[in-house]
Structure 1
Amino acid sequence: MNSSTPSKPKKPVNRKSLLLTTILGAILLLGALILFMSIEKVPQGYQAVIYSVSGVKEQTKPAGWHIISPLDKAVHYPIRTQTKEYDDLNVATSDGKNLNMDISVNYHVDPTKVVNIFNKFGNADIEGLESGFLRTRVQDGLRQSVAKFSVIETFGVKTSEIKKNTIEMLQDNLTKQGFIVEDIAISSPKADKATQAAIDERVKANQELERAKTDRAIAEENAKKKKIEAEGQAAANEILEKSLSDQIIRKQMIDKWDGKQPITIGSDGVIVDVNK
């Protein structure tokens, strides 16, 4: 006769407990997601402007980790030195020559004006400002500086003045906007072949002119030197001639006589009798 162990009856599933567990898990997951969305990291050397659909907040965020509303967004502005290079900016000289120049700009954003920058430019990031607003201002400042000088001056003696004028204009125009220009570096201009050939010819001509001036100056100095030497020699001869009286000549001959050859000193001078 077969016997079997009776199976235990299954416990009914507690649907209410399962539902609560699911809801609690969803809440925790949602909370973690909201917390993650609320964390804002501001990199070192930057300052953040916080804004939302309701407007921009006056209180900015320094570098570090911050908890903000998940509905808020942030724009970061560099308050430490940044270097931006602009290549092949087109400029024209006072004599109508078109040149391309490279310029490197060291700048930073004024931390007290980051909110003003946001209000002026909206949520444009710094890369957008560098490629748009800043590029336009830099090119305009460089163009105005170069336009004061000829192409030869731009390539030579006026390079330092061009840099000085450019940085002064950029500082005047950008400081009030919130961008502090610290320094700039301008490369040598790049000209087309025809312009470069004309510049080379002009430089060669100037070099030859300077060489001719130098040669002339040397010749003049040599002539002056020879004149001074001649005048000195003439003066010396005159003094010597005046000092050579008959008495002095006779005395010198007597002083030099060796006592062997007889000499005669008369009114006609000194006569040496070579036959004795």
Structure 2
Amino acid sequence: MNKKIIAGVTAIVLVAVALLFFNERIDAGHEGLRVKMYGSEKGVQDVSLVTGRVWYNPLTEMVFEVPTYVQTMNYEAFTVNAKDGSVFTVDPTLSMKIKDGESAKIFKKYRKPIDEVLKNTLVNHIKDVYRIEFNKYTTDSIISRREMFEDGVQKKMIAFLNNEGFILEQLTSGIQYPETITQAINAKNTAIQRAQQAENELKVVEANAKKLIVQAEAESKANELKKQSLTNLLIQQQFIEKWDGKTPLYGQSPAFFKSVDK
């Protein structure tokens, strides 16, 4: 009898000692989520939102570490239709974090680890946000009012994630236009660039022409002034200033000046 008692006590002690080794250290930047696996409130009954070491009963409980820091999720690209039927490609990247104290709420709703919720569960909801917003705009209005469109997407995404227990830090839509639209935009940009180049070349030609005109007018005026200044008296004066003292011979007899017919 004593042996049975001793064996029973020993077993209890061994189980108690074993249970002491079942603990989980909750690192900084995480919330500790202790889950009751049995009982009337199976799923989440007790939650430890602490850093440090959490003790638990492995027979009836599980402990999860839930990251509360910002995580960036680069989702796979998907297509969505605008109001007029054009097909756009969206390649979204979202940076978000769990709101403090909301990990238990998220676990109760989805019964999945947080990383699985972020990678898979939220995808369809994120697609729905884009579909709703795209259906409000035609292709032209999306292009011409891109900032307004993006602002609408972001507001809806913030509201959706907030309701799910997350905080959106940053959103990049990565929108790609339909190929026909891209070609049209490229053609338009090419035409604008060529028109600008032609305009610049015309300005250069006009500038060179004006320069030639100014030079020609300046030369014409200079020649006119020279012509007006060359009077008979001025010519005679210049002759006297340069005369070497010898009487030049014009015709059959010497003379100082040669008659100039007007």
Normalising by structure 2, what TM-score? Answer: 0.68
- In 1, the alpha carbon distance for the partners of 2:219 and 2:260 equals 26
Residue 7 of structure 1 corresponds to: none
- In 2, the alpha carbon distance for the partners of 1:73 and 1:255 equals 121
Residue 34 of structure 2 corresponds to: 50
Are 1:180 and 2:162 counterparts?
no
Residue 31 of structure 1 corresponds to: 16
- The structure-2 alpha-carbon separation of the partners of 1:160 and 1:44, relative to structure 1 and needing over 3 Å to count, comes to farther
Contact map agreement 1:79 1:111 (CA 8 A) in 2 = yes
Question: Does the residue aligned with 1:106 lie in a helix, a strand or coil?
Answer: strand
Are 1:124 and 2:112 counterparts?
yes
More displaced 10-residue stretch of structure 1: 145-154 or 238-247: 145-154
Question: Does the residue aligned with 1:214 lie in a helix, a strand or coil?
Answer: helix
Are 1:222 and 2:204 counterparts?
yes
Are 1:138 and 2:117 counterparts?
no
TM-aligned CA deviation for residue 103 of structure 1: 2.2
TM-aligned CA deviation for residue 73 of structure 1: 4.0
**What stretches of structure 2 of length at least 5 have no aligned partner?**
249-255
Q: Deviations over 1:200-255 (max 9, x none)?
A: 64355325412431243124313431453255346535643664463456648965
Contact map agreement 1:152 1:199 (CA 8 A) in 2 = no
- The structure-2 alpha-carbon separation of the partners of 1:69 and 1:30, relative to structure 1 and needing over 3 Å to count, comes to closer
**What stretches of structure 1 of length at least 5 have no aligned partner?**
1-15, 269-276
Contact map agreement 1:94 1:151 (CA 8 A) in 2 = no
Aligned residue pairs total 244
Question: Does the residue aligned with 2:194 lie in a helix, a strand or coil?
Answer: helix
Residue 92 of structure 1 corresponds to: 81
Question: Does the residue aligned with 1:28 lie in a helix, a strand or coil?
Answer: helix
Contact map agreement 1:163 1:185 (CA 8 A) in 2 = no
Question: Does the residue aligned with 1:184 lie in a helix, a strand or coil?
Answer: strand
Normalising by structure 1, what TM-score? Answer: 0.65
What RMSD over aligned residues (CA atoms) do the two structures have, in Å? 4.1
More displaced 10-residue stretch of structure 1: 80-89 or 231-240: 231-240
- In 1, the alpha carbon distance for the partners of 2:64 and 2:231 equals 108
Matching residue within 103, 107, 112 for 1:114:
103
- Aligned AA (1:217): E
